[in-house]
Every structure is written in C-alpha cells, then in structure tokens.
Structure 1
Amino acid sequence: MKRGEQVKRKIIITLSILFSLWMIGLFIFYLMKHDHTRWQVALGGILISLPPLSLLKMKKNPFNIPIIISYYLFLFCSLYLGSISSFYLRYLWWDSTLHFLKGMFVGFVGISLYKHWIPKQSQSNVSVGILFLFVLSLAVSSGVLWEIYEYVGDLTLTHTMQRGGNTDTMEDLLCGLGGGFVAAVYSLFRKKRI
C-alpha cells in the first residue's frame, strides 16, 4: 500500500473514531437530560460518522485528504454547531452558508469521482461541458435530496428543520446551486490539468 493511502486510512480511522466517540458522549449526556431533540441529533451524528470507514475496503480511495477532513468539518458545523449549539436559530446566515459549502463540497466530490471513474486515457475525450454539468448536477441533486430529508423529518419527527417553509427550501437550494456552480467552474480550469 502506498504511503498516501496509508495516511488516508489513518485519518479516516482517527476522525471516525473521535467523532463517533464524541457523539456517543453527547448522546448519553442529552439522553440523561431528557433533551430529545439533541440526543436524536447526536445519535444521527454517530451513524453518519461511520460511512467513511467503508472507504477502507477500496483498493484506491478516490477522495483526497482535504475532502475527508472537510466531511468531518461539515458534520461538526451542521450537527454540533448548527443543531446542538443552536447556531441555526441564533445566526440566520448559518444555514445558507452551510448549504453553499455543501454544494461546493459535493461538487469537489464529483470531481474526485470523475477522476476515479473515467480512465486517464479517456479523460481528454470528455468535453468540459459534460464535466461542468456532471459536477453541477451532482451538487444540485444532493441539495434536493437534503430538502426531501428535511421535509420528511418535519412530517415525522422534529417540525424544526424547515422553519421558513418554502422560502427556506428555495434559499437552501439556491445556496447549494451557488456552491455547486463554484465547484463546476473550478472543474473547467482543473480539466486542463486532470
């Protein structure tokens, strides 16, 4: 195994374990305080911190270290700061900013997947327009799926995810589109070097 892959493995294992242990601690703390909203968020944090471990089974992990670290940073900002520490309620710009950053993040994930899935010899034959649309559509699709998740969550559990109704949904989608657009434009310049 190459040195870079070993470093990625160590980072994934370390961040997964640390984040899930921290969320387990928060889960127990808020469960004992009977704070049902926060213990549910912490429980979700435990579950969502573990999927990157599945990357360890891959022969070649398509994601670079900044993407892996960004994943956990995003979880920290959305789950802990946003929900548990109530940044979503205190700072009106917090939700929109995270949706913008999520759009960028998913766009960069799309660029990594493109580099992983498309053989090197075929990459020069893929037009920049197709790459642009792939990155942008992946970011937009993730935003749509997230809004469906929020809608279903409000129907079944929390009633707090879409406080602004349709306005919140549209602002979130536009911010995600903006972030995805930034990543897609970056892919145009990056295509020359891919």
Structure 2
Amino acid sequence: MAVLFVFYIIKDDSSKWQVALGGILVSALPLLLLRLKNNPFNIPQILGYFILLFCTTYLGSIALFYLHHKWWDSTLHLYKGAYVGIIAITLFKVMVPSQVRENVSRWVLFLFVLSLGSSASVLWEIYEFLGDLTFTHTMQRGGNTDTMYDLLFGLLGGLLIALYSLVRKQQV
C-alpha cells in the first residue's frame, strides 16, 4: 500500500492514493498487535485480516473489482461476517476466564458470535453511508438494495461461524 500510495501521488490520482493511504493506516493495527507481549490473535487470524484488507482496498477499490464483478461486494461481506465471528470466539476465550467459560451456555456464545459478526456489517454500512455523505458518493451505488444485501451476507457469515461455535461448544 505504501508503494501504491507513492505511485498514485506521482500519477496525481487522488481517489486511488487516498485508498492506498487508508490501506496503510488500517494495516498498522495487526502490526501493532504483534508488538504486544500477550497477543491473543494467532498468525492465521492476522493473515485473514490482511487478506480482507487486500481484497477490499486493492482489489475492490483500486483494481475496480467492485465495479466489474457484482458478486465481489457480497462475497467480501460474507467473509467479513465470518472473520469477525472468528475474532469473537478468540475474544470470548481471552476475556472470559476458563473456569467461567465452562459454565457459559453455548447459546450465549452463539449469540455473542452472531451479534459481533452482524454488528460489523452494520458499522461498515454506516461507514459507507457517511463516506457517501462527505467524500466519495460512490460507496453505495446500489442504494438500499446494496445495503440490504451487504447486511444479509454479513449476517450469513456471522451465522455460519456462530453455528460452528454452537457445535464446538457442545462437543467440548
């Protein structure tokens, strides 16, 4: 993203250098987490975050996948809902002590994972709406239909991981 930032500044392509700058900023989060002594996130989770960033910022916005592939947006919302659901399971394991965790109902874990996965979609749609109000006017090209599909696919991704957590908690 840093290379793309410089490249698009030189080309004077303001929309793409801004996306690259945003990519640099959001890429810093997992790099900062790696500096923590007790980083709760494993390498596959961090790589999953970078995959999400690469697919949204570079492929989606800079390489114009959002414009050329109608399925791209919904697929990323499905991935994001599932990814945040996986992060929710990690947060549950880190924040709830093991002796308490054993007595927590599997349905509480299910609802926690589902709510975080779907909340991520809601927050993303608010971000898109505010972005269209202030900067781009291109994030929600499909209007309400786009928003509803995005929310449904984000919910589906979170639901898949919530169902997984329900089955895993029952077996443990």
* Global fold match (TM > 0.5): yes
Q: 1:53 aligns with which of 10, 27, 31?
A: 31
Counterpart in the other structure of 1:122: 100
Counterpart in the other structure of 1:176: 154
Q: Quote how far apart the aligned CAs of 1:57 are.
A: 4.5
Q: Quote how far apart the aligned CAs of 1:58 are.
A: 3.3
Question: How do residues 100-179 of structure 1 correspond to structure 2 at under 5 angstroms?
Answer: 100-179=78-157
In 1, distance between residues paired with 2:57 and 2:171?
36
2:61 paired with 1:75: no
In 2, distance between residues paired with 1:187 and 1:154?
36
Q: Quote how far apart the aligned CAs of 1:66 are.
A: 1.3
Q: Quote how far apart the aligned CAs of 1:32 are.
A: 1.6
Q: Deviations over 1:101-160 (max 9, x none)?
A: 000000000000001111111111100110000000001111111001001111111111
Matched letter for residue 30 of structure 2 = P
Q: Which stretch of the first structure deviates more once superposed, 174-183 or 60-69?
A: 60-69
Q: 2:70 aligns with which of 89, 92, 116?
A: 92
Q: Quote how far apart the aligned CAs of 1:34 are.
A: 1.7
Matched positions, count? 172
Task: Give the secondary-structure state (helix, strand or coil) at the position aligned to 1:138.
Answer: helix
Counterpart in the other structure of 1:13: none
What is the TM-score of this pair, normalised by structure 2? 0.96
Q: 1:64 aligns with which of 29, 39, 42?
A: 42
Counterpart in the other structure of 2:20: 42
Task: Give the secondary-structure state (helix, strand or coil) at the position aligned to 2:103.
Answer: coil
In 2, distance between residues paired with 1:192 and 1:109?
19
Q: Deviations over 1:170-193 (max 9, x none)?
A: 100000000000010011122246
In 1, distance between residues paired with 2:168 and 2:38?
21
Gapped regions of structure 1 (runs ≥ 5): 1-22
Q: Deviations over 1:57-101 (max 9, x none)?
A: 433221122111100011111111110000000000000000000
Identity %: 62
In 2, distance between residues paired with 1:97 and 1:193?
30
Aligned-residue CA RMSD (Å) = 1.2
Matched letter for residue 72 of structure 2 = W
In 2, distance between residues paired with 1:73 and 1:135?
21
In 2, distance between residues paired with 1:57 and 1:30?
30
Counterpart in the other structure of 2:164: 186
